[in-house]
Amino acid sequence: MTEALVSRSVIPAQAAVRPRAAGPPPHEDHALESVTVELGRAIFREIPKHAPSKISPARLDDLMMQLLMRDEDLRYRMLRFVDVYPALRTAKALGEHLEEFLTSPELATVGPGPFTALAQFLGRSRPATRGAIRLASRLGISRMGRQFIAGNTPEEVAKKIRRMEREGFLFSLDLLGEFVVSESQADHFAGRYLEMVERFGSLLGTEPSGRTPAGPRVNISIKLSSLTSKFEPMDPEGTSAAVRERLRPLVRAAQRTGAFINVDMEKYEYRDLTLQILLDLLDEPEFRGFPHLGTVHQAYLKDALPSLEWFLGELRKRGQPLTIRLVKGAYWDSEQIWARAKGWPIPVIMDKRETDASYERCLRMLIESNDIVRTAVASHNVRSIAHAMALAKAFKVPADRFEYQMLYGMAGPIKDALRAMGYPVRIYTPCGELLPGMAYLVRRILENTSNESFLRQRFAEGVSEEKLLSDPKSTR
């Protein structure tokens, strides 16, 4: 590595990490628990002040989601239709597919739901009616797409983000795109990322004043599997070398322009390799100590805690500061299906409350290490959020070592409530074309309409506050 080529960062790298949290000895669990519930109630009191008005577009989307939640058969058919939708190039193809998806017996996996007969009647009805459904579906899916995907071009996205910033939110940009199987696609992705890191700041223009201090303004989330034609856990050394080849220019650009890069987490099979590549990069002299990097930890994995412990140990060995976004995980359904197909142990925790409990254990481990890691609490679950707040209080975590993250287009009232309460809230904002964005969109709809979803339980089913705020570590 030629030292002369190392670019100068405009943000001085913090070589030394903060001294380890001296914080109080871990609070008595019941004390922590009561603070959690108290904070949770405070959030719930705040939420109604930010509920969408009855006639807003967001309200319409909620209604559509609610319809899907109540009819498992229709939900399955619609998810399959949403999946194929962007590939349908003509109105004719669209109409034919909608009819097929509503009526095909092959898709009846769970037995008819309350709306099946109606949907099938409409699906088979006169062309005029079909035309109306076509239009509705076209608008509906584009609408759903727009709800979760901020835009296609950087300019479009910048506009949305400026608005978010004016409202007091932070952002992390995620580029949706094709599944990478060739080096030219990987080059293309790396180029788009680089453009974002280098140009997005200037595209945004002047920063609104009074922003919560939470690191660099431009924050880009990247997926390492899009930086090589072959992300191969079987060949960690080769994959790491190939990925770092395309990652270096991005991190150099981040050093130069003062941006933040977050390495996102994907399926379980990729986890260890993703973390290893990040460590390999940090072992290169030019990146050593660079503080504006982050990654993700998925609490729904059965080995979430030991993996986190190992990773924190690796960071500590290197004295390397980092931001860790703690999520529950977005591939819960897929992980189970993949593992079953291969006869491997299922890597994800099957029980939702146990996942929530795992999340809280990981949170505590992160907060205990707040001298070396910044924690990003990425959850829409008020109990998890309140617990993080309680832990942060108990350990006297400095305000700039902590932030909350939520997804674009989801949990609006919760975001607003947190922001109004003065917490830093970062919005994970996907952008890109609808076509490659469908997988993302389907994951979001699955999440919003799943039986176990916090948002569903709270806003569609009216589960009580007390129940929603109860300690997941306690028995039901």
Residues that bind another protein in the complex, under the rule CB under 8 A:
80, 83-84, 87-89, 93, 97, 100-101, 104, 106-107, 178-179, 181-185, 229-230, 232-236, 238-239, 269-270, 272-273, 342-344, 436
Among candidate residues 444, 450, 409, 447, the one with its CA nearest the CA of residue 428: 409
Q: Please give the radius of gyration of the chain, using alpha carbons only, rounded to the nearest integer.
A: 23
Asked if 233 contacts 272 with a C-beta cutoff of 8 angstroms, the reply is yes
Asked if 268 contacts 336 with a C-beta cutoff of 8 angstroms, the reply is no
Contacts of 353 (CB under 8 A, 6+ apart): 472, 476
Min dist. Cβ of residue 267 to another protein (A) = 10
Please give the structure tokens belonging to residue 272. Answer: 């260890």
Asked if 319 contacts 371 with a C-beta cutoff of 8 angstroms, the reply is no
Min dist. Cβ of residue 47 to another protein (A) = 38
Min dist. Cβ of residue 242 to another protein (A) = 9
Min dist. Cβ of residue 96 to another protein (A) = 8
Cα separation values, 174 from 144, 157, 279, 355, Å: 17, 11, 22, 25
Tell me whether residue 177 or residue 216 sits nearer to another protein (CB atom).
Answer: 177
Tell me whether residue 13 or residue 87 sits nearer to another protein (CB atom).
Answer: 87
Tell me whether residue 215 or residue 347 sits nearer to another protein (CB atom).
Answer: 347
Tell me whether residue 60 or residue 88 sits nearer to another protein (CB atom).
Answer: 88
Min dist. Cβ of residue 235 to another protein (A) = 4
Tell me whether residue 138 or residue 162 sits nearer to another protein (CB atom).
Answer: 138
Min dist. Cβ of residue 342 to another protein (A) = 6
Q: Which residue bears the tokens 């920063």? A: 207
Among candidate residues 184, 278, 280, 182, the one with its CA nearest the CA of residue 223: 278
Alpha-carbon torsion (153, 218, 145, 296), positive or negative: positive
Q: Which backbone phi and psi does 455 adopt, to 5 degrees?
A: -60, -40
Min dist. Cβ of residue 105 to another protein (A) = 9
Tell me whether residue 270 or residue 395 sits nearer to another protein (CB atom).
Answer: 270
Instruction: For the beta carbon of residue 163, count every other beta carbon within 10 angstroms.
Output: 10
Min dist. Cβ of residue 106 to another protein (A) = 5
The tally of CA atoms less than 13 A away on the side-chain side of residue 202 is 5
Tell me whether residue 10 or residue 241 sits nearer to another protein (CB atom).
Answer: 241
Pairing of strands 170-175, 219-222: parallel
Tell me whether residue 159 or residue 230 sits nearer to another protein (CB atom).
Answer: 230
The total number of residues shown for the chain amounts to 476
Where b means 16+ CB within 10 Å and e means fewer, 74-113 reads: bbbbbbbbbeebbebeeeeebbebbbbbbbeeeeeeeeeb
Min dist. Cβ of residue 273 to another protein (A) = 7
Tell me whether residue 108 or residue 357 sits nearer to another protein (CB atom).
Answer: 108
